[in-house]
Amino acid sequence: MNNKKLLGKRIKELRKEAGLTQEKLAELIGIETTSLSGIESGRHFPSLPTVEKIAGSLNVEMKALFDFDHLLPVEQMKVNIIQNIDKLSDKKISFIYRFFEGYKY
């Protein structure tokens, strides 16, 4: 999934968590509802001032809008985990192993 789509999904997720409609958020940030719809669907990338307004209206830091790792497909998550395991110390790998062992069913 490309970054425009991930950003759009994240904005939509945070908007819904804040209990706002597209119409209300668009009004708060001073853009048309169709423009916000285009951002949320990943068709349009917002300008930096718009990103700042979105974050402010949602009461989140700007970086929260770009925290969308949890929106990645599971297969991509698995690839990322495997790539990062090799960078960890033995102590951290041992901790992770014990953590996952606790979640066995």
- pLDDT tens across 2-38, in order? 889 999 999 999 999 999 999 999 999 999 999 999 9
- Give yes or no for residue 76 having a pLDDT over 70: yes
Whether residues 57 and 84 share a domain: the answer is no
Q: Residue 26 sits in a domain of what CATH number? A: 1.10.260.40
Residue 66 near residue 8 (C-beta atoms within 8 A): no
Whether residues 63 and 30 share a domain: the answer is yes
Whether residues 55 and 77 share a domain: the answer is no
Whether residues 96 and 54 share a domain: the answer is no
Whether residues 60 and 77 share a domain: the answer is no
**Domain that includes residue 76, residue range:** 72-101
Whether residues 80 and 39 share a domain: the answer is no
- Give yes or no for residue 100 having a pLDDT over 90: no
The whole-angstrom separation of Cα 30 and Cα 53 is: 9
- Give yes or no for residue 105 having a pLDDT over 70: no
Look at the pTM and tell me if it is higher than 0.75: no
- Domain count for the chain, please give it: 2
Whether residues 12 and 57 share a domain: the answer is yes
Burial of 22 (0-12, 13-18, 19+ CB in 10 A): middle
Residue 75 near residue 43 (C-beta atoms within 8 A): no
Instruction: Tell me the two tokens of residue 3.
Output: 């970054």
